[in-house]
Amino acid sequence: MKSLRIPRSPKVIVGLIILGIFVVLTVIGPWIAPYDPNANTFIPNLTPSWEHWFGTTTLGQDVLSQLLVGCRVTMVVGFIAGLVATLISIAVGLAAGYMGGRTDEGLSLLANVFLAIPGLPLLIVINSYLPAGSQANPLVVGLVIALTGWAWGARVLRAQTMSLRDRDFVEASRIIGEKRWRIMWSEIGPNLLPIIAASLLFTILYAVGVYSTLAFLGLTNVSTWNWGTMMYWAQSNNAALANEWWWLAPPGVAIALVGTSLALINFGIDEFINPRLRAAGLSARQRRRVGLARRPRLGFTPVLRQSTVDPKKVS
Amino acid sequence: MSLTDANLVLHVSNFSVDYGYADEAIRAVTDVSFSLGRSRVLGVAGESGSGKSTLVYGLTRLLRAPGVITAGDVRLRLSGAREGEIIDLLAATEDDLRAIRWSEISIVMQSALNALNPLHKIGKEFDEVLRVHDGRLSKSQRRQRAEELLALVGLQPDRLQRYPHELSGGQRQRVMIALALALRPQLVIMDEPTTALDVVTQREIVSELHELRERLGFALIFITHDLSLLVELADEIMVMYAGRIVERAPALDLYRAPRHPYTLGLMESFPPLSGERVAMTGIPGSPPNLKTPPAGCPFHPRCAYAHDRCRNEMPPLNDIEDGGRSVACWLHDPASPVEVPVSLSRRGDTTPGGVK
Amino acid sequence: MASNSIDEKGNHGVTTLLRRLAIYLFTAWTTITVNFVLPRLMPGDPIQQLIGKLQGRVTPEMIAAIKAQFGQGLNQSMWTQYVHYLTQLLHGDLGVSITLSSPVSDVLSSQIWWTVGLIGVGAVVSFFIGTALGVFFGWTRGSRADVVIPAATFLQSVPYYFLGTILIMIFAATLHWFPLMGAYDPTLSPEWSWTYIASVLRYGELPLASIVLSSLAGWMLGMRNMMVTTMSEDFVLMAVAKGLSRRRVMWHAARNAVLPSVANLALTIGLLVSGSLLVEQIFNYPGVGNLLVNAVGNEDYPLLQGIFLLITFTVLGANFLADALYYVLDPRTRTAAVH
Ligand SMILES: Nc1ncnc2c1ncn2[C@@H]1O[C@H](COP(=O)(O)OP(=O)(O)O)[C@@H](O)[C@H]1O
Ligand code: SF4
Ligand SMILES: [Mg+2]
């Protein structure tokens, strides 16, 4: 059994650092916000300055404060939706993949249906039928997002479970007579970890994106600060036409950075799952140093005329 | 080093290959030298992981990263229109290599299913190599040629219309062989072409190859880990262990009278070609980790005849018995403190393992 | 994820395709049923509230129509209502839009072409460009060209509405290279004239560019991964061993690598359409997405439901087309393998 050792490439490290920063801001953002995000007492449309790092809005509010306060809701909804969706997909994927038969048929059909229905329109419809109080509640919205976002992970996990189910070590413990759930938990589970991690990253990405999209469309409570509502207010006050980039850019870039960090971490997981994606041998710079072409060429094995193997190791 | 003898097709000297660089590097092929005559068959045997594939893919410059050739000299004598020319494969440019690939050297890989493009019909595979290398052939000529080639390996022309997945394993491998012969190359390399097949098909293909070689006269490097398969086909056999040649001899001599303990072990891992089945004893242990190869003879941790010298000094590949064959083992050193056991000192006309 | 040349049950070719079709039909039926059930089961009775709000604002006939459509005060059993609902749908009757006071089907059929034109063209263009770029960057993996990977990853993470807004800000509002919003010059009236068509094309440029730009990176990164994976296959090395030119070798790899992309197409269309709905909101472009957002804002439930059905059916149809395309491209789906 392999342990989850994600290659520690620069990509993964950068991704973890960016994500770490946003996680910290999720916790402390509202506390370190310099002003009340709702206070509209400042001079409108200020460009960034010492007093207002990200300037002020047309309504005279401080952009940085909105960004910091909005971080928490955005991230919490994203993580909750991602977690719940991943839990659903683990349950469905493992059950379908391990049990097979009718259970599998039914669950697979369910997953396929959810995959085929376009998520955002479905969310918009469900959301519009929610009572006004629930629409404003980020938790409820997060759960609804989870409901529309679990199917992809379930499908991948199911396929992987099926292929693991028939491998030797699972077969062996089945013969010894271990209980089903124990086999699933102790034998199959650890082998699914990288895939579960990837699907968690994807669903968080999806949830952050979808939640802020709903907010941008004004379909959640527009007075709860999150990055989508910031864009909503910017859009409804024609910030783009007035070239107020300092108002538009922070929420958009923040979402993009969170997304990038998740994707970068996923690169590492991808390379773990699919070793062919791993860069073979040295980085371009190291290759140059030992005198090789920058990039390996298919069908043109390099001739170095000197071994780099430690001579002590070759008797 | 050069290819002075006009009867030689390929001459390899002191060829070494590493995987990776610096701290991660391992030496997968070390100091291999051999030459191959026209229309001769060289068998390469050894357990999985002994460096057979690395050797031939390295020679042809087809080895993928992180493989690096770190020493040696490889010369190929060209045929046909370029008769008499000798090309230095390690100094060749990509264009030089492209010009001789398939027309001078072709290769058959272990898994035909993986080696054939799944989206191409068999016919297209033939058509492509014929078209790319000989622009003068018309479409119908190419097709006719493809049918002839299939007939050569005993397949019906209708196979040209099939996709690889629609053929059986044996048919696919025959297709690969026919494809390898398409441009009448003078050197064909086959890397465990029969390993994935059942025993009956293995034997069929080997005897077909024997006939084809007689008829077409190509030189062949045939890799397998099954020594008994080679005796039928090969003129000479090279046994590899941990990236080195440990024994080389004419096929029948090697088979009947092995000199290296590893060769003996290999033979006992497979049932003999004919006669009663004997218990297969095989070789205890597993090949060394090339990251930390053992000091001295790399085989010593598994060798029943290992003695002090084996643990400290690397045995060189020395000619024995008047140069007809060579072996890398201290047992055969005149100064060996251990007497050469009977099983490793038979005369070439007796058979091992008690099989008549 | 991975390519499915044969489905779970080992069925081949047409059987697989028919199974997919069955799943899509089942999904369509599910969508219809969800549409029926949601307004009736939701806590807080949204329809009752809506009718309350509408009293006096629309004609009594309208209120009666809405009540009928959502089964208010009819004392019919759920089952009767359901059968009635299905029958109406079969006749293409999606009810009457509250805000626009005309049949939903009429509203949709007048607006759908804008959406199909813009999003359809955008999807196809970004798929082709993204795939081509992915082939190139996969082939040159390890070279200097790798610097596009972090950039593409970032671009892929930029929310569509942000990208669109920024494009407007830079290229329309500031540089004035493109018109600000709308689908055609408002001084023109829709007709089959060259000026009108030219205006539609002109106004479509920036929205189209925004769609292409936002989904390009995803296709590119996916295709690059597949290309890298495929290049480690034996048959690609074989193509080199056969002395084929680099272009040909790349083609061997690319044709195989594109298959999973096509298999993914089905999964991605829904996402693409969802994201692209925003384009109409941002560019004030006519079409179904714009209608959808307005319908939500105005609590125009009949219109909302109609749009949802339309979008879902279109996506299902596109999914099926993608499956069929895969079937055509991969011979392994068509004939049984020999073992
Ligand atoms: N891509 C690679 N990276 C590192 N080591 C490799 C790689 N490919 C093969 N090796 C090592 O090189 C040795 C020789 O392998 P190979 O030539 O495939 O042996 P054979 O063909 O005799 O089975 C093995 O020990 C194997 O582990
Ligand atoms: S050198 Fe020594 S260890 Fe190596 S094969 Fe010969 S006897 Fe065995
Ligand atoms: Mg091998």
Residue-wise pLDDT for C164-191, tens only, equals 889 988 898 888 888 888 877 788 777 7
Q: Cβ(B306) to ligand 2 under 6 A?
A: yes
**Which whole number is the average pLDDT over B151-161?**
94
Q: Cβ(B181) to ligand 2 under 6 A?
A: no
Separation CA C213–CA C146 (nearest Å) = 19
Instruction: Select the residue of C234, C329, C335 nearest B109 (Cβ to Cβ).
Output: C234
Distance B223 CA to ligand 3 centre (A): 8
Contact across the interface for C245 and B62, Cβ inside 8 Å: no
Interface contact C168, partner A, CB < 8 A: yes
Contact across the interface for A299 and B70, Cβ inside 8 Å: no
Full residue range of the structural domain in which residue C224 is found = 112-298
* Assigned domain for B240 exists: no
Q: Which residue is closest in CA terms to ligand 1's atom 4?
A: B19
Contact across the interface for C242 and B103, Cβ inside 8 Å: no
Q: How many CB atoms lie within 10 A of CB A26?
A: 18
Query: How many domains does the structure of chain B reveal?
Result: 2
**Which whole number is the average pLDDT over C41-52?**
68
Is B169 found in the same domain as B257? no
Instruction: Select the residue of B27, B58, B90 nearest A309 (Cβ to Cβ).
Output: B27
A172 vs B13, residue with greater confidence: B13
Average pLDDT, chain B: 88
Instruction: Look at residue B354 in the predicted model and tell me its pLDDT.
Output: 39
* Assigned domain for C67 exists: no
Question: Which residue among B145, B165, B184 closes a domain?
Answer: B184
Separation CA B244–CA B355 (nearest Å) = 29
Chain B residues at the A interface, defined by Cβ less than 8 Å, are 16, 18, 20-22, 24-27, 30, 57-58, 61-71, 90-91, 94, 97, 101, 291-296, 298, 314
pLDDT above 60: residue B210: yes
C244 pLDDT tier (thresholds 50, 70, 90): very high
Per-residue pLDDT tens over the stretch B32-72: 999 999 999 999 999 999 999 999 999 999 999 889 999 99
* Assigned domain for B55 exists: no
* Assigned domain for C126 exists: yes
Per-residue pLDDT tens over the stretch C299-331: 888 888 888 898 888 888 888 888 888 888 888
Looking at the DSSP bridge assignments, the partners of residue B190 are: B108, B222
Instruction: Look at residue C315 in the predicted model and tell me its pLDDT.
Output: 86
The CATH number covering residue C222 comes to 1.10.3720.10
Mutation target for C interface from B96, B98, B117: give the one with most C CBs within 10 A.
B117
Q: Cβ(B329) to ligand 2 under 6 A?
A: yes
Contact residues, chain A, for B65 at CB < 8 Å: 280-281, 296
Interface contact A307, partner B, CB < 8 A: yes
At B330, which amino acid appears?
Answer: W
Full residue range of the structural domain in which residue B298 is found = 252-354
What is the three-class DSSP state of C16?
A: helix
Separation CA B165–CA B154 (nearest Å) = 19
Contact residues, chain A, for B16 at CB < 8 Å: 307
* Assigned domain for C255 exists: yes
* Assigned domain for B273 exists: yes
* Assigned domain for C336 exists: no
* Assigned domain for B29 exists: no
Per-residue pLDDT tens over the stretch B295-338: 999 999 999 899 999 999 999 999 887 768 999 999 988 888 87
Contact residues, chain B, for A301 at CB < 8 Å: 57-58, 61-64, 67-69
**Which whole number is the average pLDDT over A260-280?**
78
Distance B49 CA to ligand 1 centre (A): 5
Instruction: Look at residue B222 in the predicted model and tell me its pLDDT.
Output: 97
Instruction: Look at residue C242 in the predicted model and tell me its pLDDT.
Output: 96
Contact across the interface for A216 and C278, Cβ inside 8 Å: yes
Contact residues, chain B, for A307 at CB < 8 Å: 16, 18, 25, 27, 70-71
Residue reference for tokens 């002090």 = B308
Nearest ligand to the CA of B290 is 1
Is B265 found in the same domain as B172? no
Name which of A145, A106, A143, A140 is nearest A124 in CA terms: A145
**Which whole number is the average pLDDT over B210-237?**
92
Interface contact C278, partner A, CB < 8 A: yes
Nearby residues of B356 by Cβ (< 8 Å), 6 or more positions away? B275
Per-residue pLDDT tens over the stretch B114-130: 899 999 999 999 999 99
Separation CA B247–CA B328 (nearest Å) = 6
- The reply to whether omega before C103 is within 30° of 0 (cis) is no
Contact across the interface for B68 and A313, Cβ inside 8 Å: no
Average pLDDT, chain C: 83
pLDDT above 80: residue C154: yes
**Which whole number is the average pLDDT over A251-274?**
86
| Residue % of chain A over a pLDDT of 90 | 13
Nearest atom, ligand 1, residue B191 CA: 21
Separation CA A251–CA C209 (nearest Å) = 22
Distance B330 CA to ligand 2 centre (A): 6
- Quote the crossing angle between the two packed helices A189-216 and A119-129, to the nearest 10°: 60
* Assigned domain for B210 exists: no
Query: How many domains does the structure of chain C reveal?
Result: 1
* Assigned domain for B76 exists: no
Separation CA C247–CA C257 (nearest Å) = 15
> Model pTM?
0.86
Mutation target for A interface from B26, B53, B61, B68: give the one with most A CBs within 10 A.
B68
Name which of C100, C156, C89, C159 is nearest C312 in CA terms: C89
Q: How far is C150 from chain B (nearest CA, A)?
A: 24
* Assigned domain for B26 exists: no
Mutation target for A interface from B16, B18, B21: give the one with most A CBs within 10 A.
B21
Instruction: Look at residue A178 in the predicted model and tell me its pLDDT.
Output: 73
- Where helices occur in chain A by DSSP H, the ranges are 10-32, 63-99, 101-116, 119-129, 132-136, 138-149, 151-165, 168-176, 180-183, 189-216, 227-236, 245-273, 284-289
Question: Which residue among B141, B168, B184 closes a domain?
Answer: B184
Instruction: Look at residue A314 in the predicted model and tell me its pLDDT.
Output: 53
* Assigned domain for C282 exists: yes
Contact residues, chain B, for C233 at CB < 8 Å: 114
* Assigned domain for C196 exists: yes
Separation CA B36–CA B34 (nearest Å) = 7
Distance B57 CA to ligand 3 centre (A): 10
pLDDT above 90: residue A51: no
B79 vs B348, residue with greater confidence: B79
- Where helices occur in C42-77 by DSSP H, the ranges are 46-54, 60-70
- Looking at residue B271, the DSSP 8-state letter turns out to be -
Question: Which residue among B184, B199, B225 closes a domain?
Answer: B184
Q: How far is B24 from chain C (nearest CA, A)?
A: 19
Distance C136 CA to ligand 1 centre (A): 29
Q: Cβ(B299) to ligand 2 under 6 A?
A: yes
Interface contact B168, partner C, CB < 8 A: yes
* Assigned domain for B20 exists: no
Instruction: Select the residue of A125, A243, A274 nearest C169 (Cβ to Cβ).
Output: A243
**Which whole number is the average pLDDT over C14-36?**
87
pLDDT above 90: residue B269: no
- In a mutational test of the pocket of ligand 2, which residue from B318, B331, B344 has the highest number of ligand atoms less than 8 Å from its CB? B331
Instruction: Look at residue A295 in the predicted model and tell me its pLDDT.
Output: 79
| CA dist A312 → B287, B294, C65 (Å) | 19, 11, 90
Instruction: Look at residue B353 in the predicted model and tell me its pLDDT.
Output: 43
**Minimum mean pLDDT among A89-98, A129-138, B174-183, C117-126: which range?**
A129-138
Instruction: Look at residue B271 in the predicted model and tell me its pLDDT.
Output: 60
Contact across the interface for A120 and C31, Cβ inside 8 Å: no
Instruction: Look at residue C45 in the predicted model and tell me its pLDDT.
Output: 66
B350 pLDDT tier (thresholds 50, 70, 90): very low
Interface contact B109, partner C, CB < 8 A: yes
Per-residue pLDDT tens over the stretch A16-35: 999 999 999 989 888 887 87
Contact across the interface for A218 and C297, Cβ inside 8 Å: yes
Per-residue pLDDT tens over the stretch C190-222: 777 888 888 888 888 899 999 999 889 989 998
* Assigned domain for C279 exists: yes
Mutation target for C interface from A102, A107, A128: give the one with most C CBs within 10 A.
A128
**Token pair recorded at residue C170:** 């830079």
The residue count of chain A comes to: 315
Nearby residues of C31 by Cβ (< 8 Å), 6 or more positions away? A117, C308, C309, C312, C313
Buried b (16+ CB within 10 A) or exposed e, B251-274: bebbbbbbbbbbbbbbbbbbbbee
* Assigned domain for C96 exists: no
